[in-house]
Structure formats: structure tokens, C-alpha cells
Amino acid sequence: MKSSLHAGAVAAAGALLLTSCGGSGEDSPGAESAEGMDICYVAAAESHAYASPANEAFQNAADELGVNVTLLSQEFDAQTGTDQLRTCIGRNPDGIVLWPLDPQAYIPGLVEAQDAEVPVVLINSPMDEEAEGLYTSFTGPDTYEQGQLAAEVMDEALGGEGSVVIVAGQAGNGTTIGRTGGFHDKLEELGSGIEVLQTVNADFDQQRALELSRDLISQHGDDLDGVYANDDTMARGFIDAWTESGRALEDMPAIVGINGQRDAFASIEDGHYTATIVQSPEEDGRLALETIVAAATGEEVESRIPIPLTVVTEENVAEEEPAF
């Protein structure tokens, strides 16, 4: 599959860049000088299927290097996050890691951090081009590429024809924009005959996805050939709504999700889920911590350091491992 080959290339690039930023533990860049360093981390949330293991990996990597972490949780509220970013700057830490929930909202805070000469690393989610030059590095998945990979899989699954809906994340969120935009652009590039009937924002929340999917199924159920969910958690909400409606699992539309969660793997094995795109929260969290440590100790780091992506379908699900 074309998408699998591309994912492999992304994985190779990610491994190469990770090497340039160091490994883990005592062999990491700046390991000797990192002891006692203070890092302020503005996380997306504390309790979330993806954010929680990423945060844990971040903390574990910090513990290995003797780095002190102050974690502030936005709970998926960008306004809270902008205030927390300024709180971090006021603490005068050695470095800041920011999980941006909005492509633009944090720009004034990034300017303040730059003026205070505090290096900032973005984790997981991209920001607008206006923010470039205000942060040292962005680590995490290529969200636009994820959307493109999802479109390739969906186009192949449906034979280039059919009607789909998109269960997207938060409106205005960088990850949502990348994953949704990449999907639309790749369908157009492929000359696909797939029609997107409707896009809803379920805020990366399973219960919200369940509620919105009830309406999607009511409106489009008989004409629905596919569902693209911006993450596996929201895809699970759609599956729950489908079974709740009394429809058979055998009649489930083709479903493509992102994150590589364990239940998505199980559904692929059962034949009720088309594909998931694996990104590891452990790699996400660890890479961000290692990168900010390198930057804070004066090492040169790449401005963009991606984590590997792997497309998992029924063809390779037995050989791959879930991300969480």
C-alpha cells in the first residue's frame, strides 16, 4: 500500500531526527548538565486517553535526567493555557514545553518567552506560520500527513467512490485543522469521487462523538459508506452510536481513525474497523522532554522533529503494537 511506504519514510525520518536530539537516560544530550533543571510544561489535559500517557512519558524522561517539572493542565481550554504560559514565564524556568490547543492564541505569550530568553518547545499540535521563530522546536506527529494517510486508506477501501462523514476534534485546534485539511486535500489530489457529507466537531471526546453520531446516523445512515474520525476515541463514539441504533456490525461503514489505540486494533481484527494511524504518546512525551533539555543546555536542535507514523489495517494488525 502506498500509504504504508510513506509511513515508513516518516518513521525513518523521525528516527534520524530523534538521533540528532539524543536517546534516553544518561546518554541523552545535556544529561550531565540537566540535573536540577526546571521545566514548565503546559499540558493539554491531565486525564485523557492520549494526553495522560504522553504526560507520564514526559515525567519519566525528566526523572531519568533529574529534571524538575512543573505541570500545568489546560483541560482543553486555550484561554486557560495562555494564562498558564504566562505563569510559566513568570517562574523563569530553564525551558517551557507548550501543548498548543489553538494555532494563534499563544503567540503573545511566545513573544514574552522570547523576550525573557526562555526556550519553548511545542509538543503534539502545530501553530500558524506567524508563530515560527518564536519557539525553538516543534515535536510530535505530522497532523497534515495523518489526514493524507487517512484519505489514501479511505479512498482505497471505498474504491474511490461513496459518501463519508468526518468526526473532527475541536474547532480551531491545530491538530483538527491538520488532520481534516490533509484528508480533504489528499482526496482532491487523488481525484477521488468520495463526497464528504458533513463534518462535526466532537472535541476529541467519546461521549460527545456518541451524541453527534446519533444525528449523523439518523441523517445519513442509509447512505453512509465511510467515517473518518480525527482520533480513535471519537471513532469509538460512532461505533457505539451505530450499535445503539440497532444496525448490524456487519453493515458498519468503513472507519478510519488515528492514534493506534488498543480497542481500534481489536476492532480491526474483528473486521469492524478499516484502519488506524499509530502515533505513540510515549514517544511524543519523551521526545518533547529530551528536546527542551537539549535546547536549554545550549545544543542546536531541529526546528521540526516528527514522531513515526504507521498505518495499521487488517493486513498488518497482527505484526504491529497498539500505541496505548
Q: What pLDDT sits at residue 2?
A: 31
* Within a domain: 295: yes
Angle at 75 between CA 80 and CA 199, to 5 degrees: 105
- Phi-psi bin for 165: left (phi > 0), alpha (psi -120 to 50), beta? beta
Same domain (yes/no): 162, 268 = yes
Q: How far is CA 102 from CA 94, 150, 171, 221, 304, in A?
A: 24, 22, 9, 32, 18
Same domain (yes/no): 233, 246 = yes
Into how many domains does the chain fold? 2
Same domain (yes/no): 175, 266 = yes
Rounded mean pLDDT, 47-65:
96
pTM of the model: 0.87
The pLDDT confidence band at residue 32, using thresholds 50, 70 and 90, is low
Same domain (yes/no): 135, 148 = no
Same domain (yes/no): 170, 272 = yes
User: The CATH number of the domain where 101 resides is what?
Assistant: 3.40.50.2300
Neighbours of 215 (CB within 10 A): 12
Selected residue with higher pLDDT from 32 and 130 = 130
Residue 207 belongs to what domain range? 143-278
- Distance from C-alpha of 77 to C-alpha of 42, rounded to nearest angstrom: 11
Same domain (yes/no): 212, 120 = no
Same domain (yes/no): 215, 110 = no
Same domain (yes/no): 301, 271 = no
* Within a domain: 319: no
Q: What pLDDT sits at residue 94?
A: 98
* Within a domain: 115: yes
Same domain (yes/no): 116, 65 = yes
The pLDDT confidence band at residue 31, using thresholds 50, 70 and 90, is low
The percentage of the chain sitting over the pLDDT mark of 70, rounded to a whole number, equals 90
Q: Which of 5-14, 50-59, 186-195 has the lowest mean pLDDT?
A: 5-14
Same domain (yes/no): 235, 255 = yes
**Is the confidence at residue 101, as pLDDT, over 80?**
yes
Q: What pLDDT sits at residue 33?
A: 82
Rounded mean pLDDT, 163-184:
97
Q: Which of 24-28, 138-142, 153-157, 178-182 has the lowest mean pLDDT?
A: 24-28
Same domain (yes/no): 31, 111 = yes
Same domain (yes/no): 44, 103 = yes
The pLDDT confidence band at residue 11, using thresholds 50, 70 and 90, is very low
* Within a domain: 151: yes
Q: What pLDDT sits at residue 23?
A: 40
- Distance from C-alpha of 44 to C-alpha of 55, rounded to nearest angstrom: 9
* Within a domain: 94: yes
